[in-house]
Amino acid sequence: RTGTAESATDPMGVNMSDTYVMLKKDKDTWRKVNGITIEKYAIYKEIKEKLDKLVPEQEMGYTQPIELRFNEILEGSRADVSLRIFGRDLEKLLEYQEKARDILRKIPGSSSVELDAITALRRGHYLNINLDYNAIARYGLSLPEVNSVVKTSMSGVELGSFYEYDWRFPIVLRLSEEYRNDVKEIEKIPVGFPEGGSIPLNSISKIRYESQISNIARSNARRYAAVAVNLQGRDVESFVLEAKEKVAKELKLPEGYYTYWGGQFKNLEKAKARLALIVPATLIVVFLLILKTFGNVKHALLVYSAIPFALTGGVLSLYFRGMSLSISASIGFIAMIGIGTLDSMVLISFFQHLKEEGKTVRETVIEGTMTRLRPVITTSIVAGLGFLPMAINTSMGAEVQRPLATVVIGGLVTSTSLTLILLPVLYELSEKDKRKEEEEKEVDEEKSS
């Protein structure tokens, strides 16, 4: 896609294009290097290297379609992480922008570090025509007349339209490109007198190419320069924490200049703030429901003890698969709070049922665990098999599905195992203490009577 954006919320200019590369869904057909299937990032790297040779000085960024759109809407940036440097002096911002880019390129995990395609400060070459007002007055010309000549010659004037089927094409009169790109030819543009005759444009102006900053981005009426960072093989949070430390140490900003980190990192911070409220609220609600079910704080705490078992498995599974803690993984942990307590409730409720039948604590624990062994394991296996396709998914949406499924499957393994092993032991210990207290109470009553 190129040209004018279809959506009003798209911040891309007409000088930017999106190129979609459709990869084969079957990864077995991808090229292999030393017997290992090549990764998407390696494919992008090869494409970039070849394009750099064919079309040098073009800035390219690797991303996914949905991720690109999301980042653009979120922060007006196309990258995973965006570093903005705010300040007043454009020349200083340009300097700090270049220094920040060099610093970020040295940090592990950065796949591409470039000036932001939309909001970075850049120098552009411009044709500057400075009119000499005294000379214009001396020749008896007017500013509108001179401006009209320059506009017609360089930009052109629309004379009409040409129609072909449903398309309309404007007919524009202007100098040909070879004359418009040559300063010497531009200087010869004739400016006519009302009574006849003409003089060259350079008689009433100074014409030269100049290098100027072409794009000035602002946020809250403050100028800023931006550097865009795309990551590979590293989570956003740890990268930004390390980058903040190194930028603060190596990039000495004077008073009045400051940095701001945006992109996915900003969305991560907002999500963490929400989770900081949701997770405690979930834990409290689950505990209250368990307490209402059993009517006993001790039994509610026993059921609640399954939650650390489940969370431990989720953390270990993320570690062994080399995944970072993301929003989808956090949702998986919330799901494990419910799944982990379910198995414990099945056991504890059956233990209570056997106890009411008059069985001893040891008989209750052994018979209850053996009877509920198959239902507990079956429930966990069915849930795990349901999440297995998500855990090994490599197609579209895998970045979101895999962490969530990995946490749930890992949590199910540890939660089920530890629930069947440790929970009966904890129940027996708690009931023995309770039984001991009851026996001591009975002895005291007999003595008193």
Q: Which residues pair with 37 in a beta bridge?
A: 32
pLDDT band at 17 (very low <50, low <70, confident <90, very high): confident
CA distance 148 to 143: 8
Which amino acid is residue 343, in one-letter code? D
Q: Is the Cβ–Cβ distance between 331 and 369 less than 8 Å? A: no
pLDDT in tens, 368-406: 888 888 888 888 888 888 888 888 877 666 777 888 889
pLDDT above 80 for 161? yes
- In 3D space, the residue among 104, 72, 71, 69 whose CA is nearest the CA of residue 85 turns out to be 104
Q: Each residue of 429-440: b (16+ CB within 10 Å) or e?
A: eebeeeeeeeee
Ramachandran angles phi, psi of 119, nearest 5°: -115, 0
Ramachandran angles phi, psi of 229, nearest 5°: -125, 125
Prediction pTM value: 0.58
Q: Is the Cβ–Cβ distance between 86 and 260 less than 8 Å? A: yes
For the chain, how many helices (H) and strands (E)? Answer: 14, 13
pLDDT above 70 for 338? yes
CA distance 132 to 258: 42
Question: Which numeric CATH code is attached to 124-213?
Answer: 3.30.2090.10
pLDDT in tens, 69-115: 655 555 556 677 888 889 888 888 888 888 998 999 888 888 778 77
Q: Which has the higher per-residue pLDDT, 84 or 431? A: 84
Q: Enumerate the H helices of 24-142 as residue ranges.
A: 40-54, 65-75, 90-105, 133-138
Which amino acid is residue 15, in one-letter code? N
Percent residues over pLDDT 90 in the chain: 4
Question: Cα angle at 113 between 109 and 114, to 5 degrees?
Answer: 170
What is each CA distance from 190 to 141, 145, 175, 315, in whole angstroms?
13, 12, 12, 76
CA distance 231 to 239: 8
Q: Is the Cβ–Cβ distance between 341 and 415 less than 8 Å? A: no
The pLDDT of residue 449: 56
- In 3D space, the residue among 92, 91, 144, 95 whose CA is nearest the CA of residue 115 turns out to be 95
Ramachandran angles phi, psi of 226, nearest 5°: -135, 145
pLDDT band at 428 (very low <50, low <70, confident <90, very high): confident
Q: Which residues pair with 129 in a beta bridge?
A: 207
- In 3D space, the residue among 145, 101, 150, 149 whose CA is nearest the CA of residue 122 turns out to be 101
Task: Give the least confident one: 94-98, 185-189, 355-359.
Answer: 355-359
CA distance 144 to 395: 61
The domain defined by 27-120+221-263 folds into Alpha-Beta Plaits (3.30.70)
174 three-class SS = coil
Q: Which has the higher per-residue pLDDT, 257 or 233? A: 257
Q: Is the Cβ–Cβ distance between 264 and 81 less than 8 Å? A: yes
The pLDDT of residue 399: 73
pLDDT band at 134 (very low <50, low <70, confident <90, very high): very high
The pLDDT of residue 427: 82
Distance of CA 197 to the CA centre of its chain: 64
Residue boundaries of the structural domains of the chain = 27-120+221-263, 124-213, 296-448
pLDDT above 70 for 272? yes
Q: What is the DSSP string of 273-284?
A: HHHHHHHHHHHH
The domain defined by 296-448 folds into Multidrug efflux transporter AcrB transmembrane fold (1.20.1640)
- Strand 258-263 relative to strand 222-231, pairing: unpaired
DSSP state at residue 24: P
Q: Is the Cβ–Cβ distance between 215 and 122 less than 8 Å? A: yes
pLDDT above 60 for 290? yes
